[in-house]
Structures are given as structure tokens and as C-alpha cells.
Amino acid sequence: MPPQRPVLIAGAGPTGLMAALWLARLGTSFRIVDKHPFAADTSRAAVVHARTLEYYRMLGLSERALSEGRIVKNMAFFGNLKEIVRREFNDIGRGKSKFPFVLMYPQDLNEQMLIEELEKRGVNVERGVEVTGLTQDDEYATVTLKNKQGVEENFEASYVLGCDGGHSVVRTHTNIKNTPGAYSQRFFVADVEGDVSVGLENVNICFNADDFCLLFAMPNGRIRLAGWAPEESIAREFTFADVEESVKRNTGAMVREVHWFSTYTVYHGVAETFRDRRVFICGDAAHVHSPVGGQGMNTGLGDASNISWKLAAVLAGKANPDILDTYQSERRPFAERLVNTTDKSFSIATNRGIVGWIWRTMVMGNIAPLIFRLGLLDNTLFETVSQIRIEYRDSALSNGNHLSNLYAGDRLPWIGFGGGPDNFDPLNALNWQIHVYGNLNDSVKALAQEKSLTVHSFPFDEEVKAKGIPKDAIILIRPDGYIGQLVEGSSDDHINQLRVFIDRWGIEPF
């Protein structure tokens, strides 16, 4: 059998770099190209959530991210420069993840970390190389690449990952339809130095009846500001001077120096499909949405983690090719829910009419602070924003299998075991594995030996019970830390159920 052609990753933002690192770790041949001559040197996306940190931990990167980032201590609401409520936020997800907080870790630092990790593995991004054409058949995709000297080549790829942003060139060469909408308002983002009257240890939501501004400190000591532009600025270029009065009115900020200022239009929408034969789209190429909750970059990193191990398995002959269809069925429903929910919140909060006025004065001024003060939505808020609630229960790979409230397709519940080694430690293998919480039966060991799977045995205690994991259950974990299949015991029928699942998908460990 001839060797498989490499994967081509188009786009070296966080999503493409994450995909590259997974493929590199799993021994898959690939190229990664980007039309831009340099990596990002501005922060743009600013937040990393718990689920992303769990992926980084699997890749051996979470400690670096934590050391370079800044944990958000509080969330505070300010109305007309008066603090309405301040809620401690740095432990909101305690017991649900090793990372029960929000981390300020901007996009440029994420990219630099991923680039340096790839370089350690002998992988370099090919910069100044853009996709100018793409055709595909049943065997491979032919991608036309043009370098910065204008020289074109035709590259044969086994599969193509379009990680090249909301205006994806890869997507335009497929049958994938994309019809994003756009908000009429124009928004700004700035990194500045100066003095403020609100706490820099917070994420500050500052507003009045007419407009709003977000303010928080970045890891490099600068202050991030975000808000909307004056209405008269919609049709022209403008500078920080155009928003300075609004910033001062909402935050009390006296800005001394502006290091970065950018304006943008917010788009929203989800591509109709995330796959066209040998092409998969990820990140902003597949879905774009409002900045509410800092979800964009994290969602793209999740896309990359999902598709990459599946591609690696198929190309290595360690999974049936139809496992690739589960990428869309797992990631698109979440993207659609995310766009729908964030769009509604964003549309109301940024409305310049009476609806927006009511939202900012009544909801943000009274109802939301009360909810935060009482902690009524702490669990829901953390699980949703952190993305640990993402599940793939309806995936063909999950097939509806469940024990009580624990389903195939769920993220493996995190068990801290009192602060010692936890049940996520083995996930850095990026491989299929079996977990047993309780008694490890010889029949489980025999199945593991038969299928070349590693077994990890954990004690069954009150924490395990509270997380809904049944005693002595056998849980087959996917390379990305989600539950592939689970059975309640080790009888012949239970073992055969796992064997049938493994054989159905052609699963072999890396």
C-alpha cells in the first residue's frame, strides 16, 4: 500500500496551529501554510476557558499558559461609574475542572506557544503561501499554492483543513454554503495604558443608558477596552479620539498611550456543512459569532482537537473512514447553538433603541447584578462559558449509549481525588483507553490486551459517585477525552458490547 498523502492545513491562526500540533503528536504527515508573512502580534481574542486549558494540558502546554496568562479574579458591573456588584470569579467552577476559572491569555500568546511547540517537533509554518485553487476526487485533493515570489505549485493532499478565517478561500473552492449576517453597528477594541477608576483585577462591564464599554487588564499590563463606535462613524475611518469620551464616561479611564486600536464589524452565522468530501472547515471558516463570552477562539481550538485525531486515525488505518462524518455532527450543533444564544444577547445589549435602553438600565443595572450577587447561575454560567458542557450524545459515534445520566459523548467528568493525581492525567496519551472506577475485573484486562488498550483503574469514592460515574463501570475514552462507550459491568455481554463498538469503528490505538 503506498504511503498516505499529507494533510494540508490552510491557516496558521490558533485553530490551524492546534490542528497541526495534534497531528504532529499523533505522527501524521502534514503541511501548514498561511498567506500572512508574520504571526499575529496583536492580542485580538483575549480569553482561554477551562476546556481549552484541558486540551492544552493533554498537549503538555497548560502550565505555560497559566504562567503567561492572568486569572480573572472578579466580574464587576458599573453603571454610570458606580459599582453595582462585584462577584468573585476565579473559583467559579471549583470541582468541575482543574481549571475552575477564566484565563486572560490573548491570541498572540496562544499562537506563539503553539508555534514554539511545533518548532520543537521540527515543524515550521510556511508563511507567505496562499491557497489559490482546489479540486478534489475520491482519492485526494489537489491544492494550488502560491508563494510570496508568485510561484505556484499543485500539492496533492489526503485531506484539507480550512482554518483560514471567516473569509476562507478554502471554503470558496468547495460546495459549502456560507451566508453570515452582520450587525449594523461598528465596534472598537483597543489596548492602552492609563489610569482607571474601576478595578483592574476585574472584568468590568461598564455602561450607561446610551452605551457601554468593557475594560480589563491584559497579562502584559496593558488595559483592554472594547465597545461600540459613535453612530456617525459607521461609514468612515476613525481613531481612538472618536471613542475616548465614551470610554471616559463609562470607565473613568484617563488614557496616556494607545498601543493598538482597531475597528470591526461583527458577523454571525454557521456554514451549512463543515465538510465537502476531503475538505473540512474549522474555526471562523465554519462559524462566526459575537464576542459575547469569549467563545470564538476557544471554539476553533475545540474544532481542531475534534477533527485532528480522527484524521490521524483514519490515515494510520486505525479507524474506519466514516468516523470523519462525526466531525460535523459533533461540532456543528454546538456552533449553531452558540451563535443563536450569543447573537440574541449581543443584539439586545448593543441595540441603540428602546430595547437596548431597557436592557442596559433594567437588566444590566438591576437583574443581572442580583443574579451574580446571589450566585444563582454560577454552575450553569461556568459550565456553559467554559465549554465543559459540550457533549456529543447524538453523534453516531456515541449511539445513545448511557448509564443513568452519564452518556457516551459526554466529556469525561473530572475527578480531583482530593488534590492528588486526577483522572485526567492519563489523557495526555491522546489515545483510546479504558477507565474503571472500582474493581478491575480480569475480563476487562483480557479485552484490553486483545485490543491493545491501556486500562486505568481508579478508586470509587463519594466524588466519583457525585459525578454520576457508576461503580465498576467500564468507560472507553476517546483520544480527545470524551466518552466513546460505557457499560455497567464486566459480564460477557458487557465486554461483547464494547468489542462490537470497537470493531464497528475499526478502532485501534495509536
Q: Give the model confidence (pLDDT) of 204-246 as tens digits.
A: 988 887 788 899 999 988 999 998 776 655 556 788 999 999 8
Q: Given the C-alpha cell 485553530, which residue does it identify?
A: 15
Q: What is the pLDDT of residue 285?
A: 96
Q: What is the pLDDT of residue 160?
A: 98
Q: Give the model confidence (pLDDT) of 40-60 as tens digits.
A: 776 678 899 999 999 999 999
Q: Of the given ranges (171-175, 218-222, 374-378, 479-483), which has the lowest mean pLDDT?
A: 374-378
Q: What is the pLDDT of residue 27?
A: 97
**1 pLDDT more than 70:** no
Residue 447 grid coordinates: 479485552
Higher pLDDT, residue 360 or 120: 120
Q: Residue range 374-398: average pLDDT?
A: 85
**356 pLDDT more than 80:** no
Q: Given the C-alpha cell 502580534, which residue does it identify?
A: 41
Name the nearest CA neighbour of 160 among 137, 140, 178: 140
Q: What is the pLDDT of residue 360?
A: 60
Q: What is the pLDDT of residue 70?
A: 93
pLDDT band at 376 (very low <50, low <70, confident <90, very high): low
Instruction: Label residues 112-139 b or e (16+ Cβ within 10 Å = b).
Output: ebbbebbeeeebebebebbbeebebeee
Q: Which CATH architecture has domain 7-61+105-178+271-346?
A: 3-Layer(bba) Sandwich (3.50)
| Topology of the domain covering 402-504 | Glutaredoxin (3.40.30)
**475 pLDDT more than 60:** yes
Task: Give me the chain's average pLDDT, please.
Answer: 90
- Report yes or no: 7 and 30 within 8 Å, Cβ to Cβ: yes
- Sheet containing strand 254-270, edge to edge, reads 82-88, 74-79, 202-207, 212-217, 223-228, 181-195, 254-270, 287-288
Residue 399 grid coordinates: 449511539
Q: Where do the CATH 3.30.9.10 domains begin and end in the chain?
A: 70-103+179-270
| Topology of the domain covering 70-103+179-270 | D-Amino Acid Oxidase; Chain A, domain 2 (3.30.9)
- Report yes or no: 506 and 320 within 8 Å, Cβ to Cβ: yes
Q: Given the C-alpha cell 455497567, which residue does it identify?
A: 488
Main-chain dihedrals φ then ψ at residue 353, nearest 5 degrees: -95, -160
Name the nearest CA neighbour of 402 among 472, 473, 460: 473
pLDDT band at 348 (very low <50, low <70, confident <90, very high): low
Q: Of the given ranges (300-304, 415-419, 459-463), which has the lowest mean pLDDT?
A: 415-419
Higher pLDDT, residue 121 or 90: 121
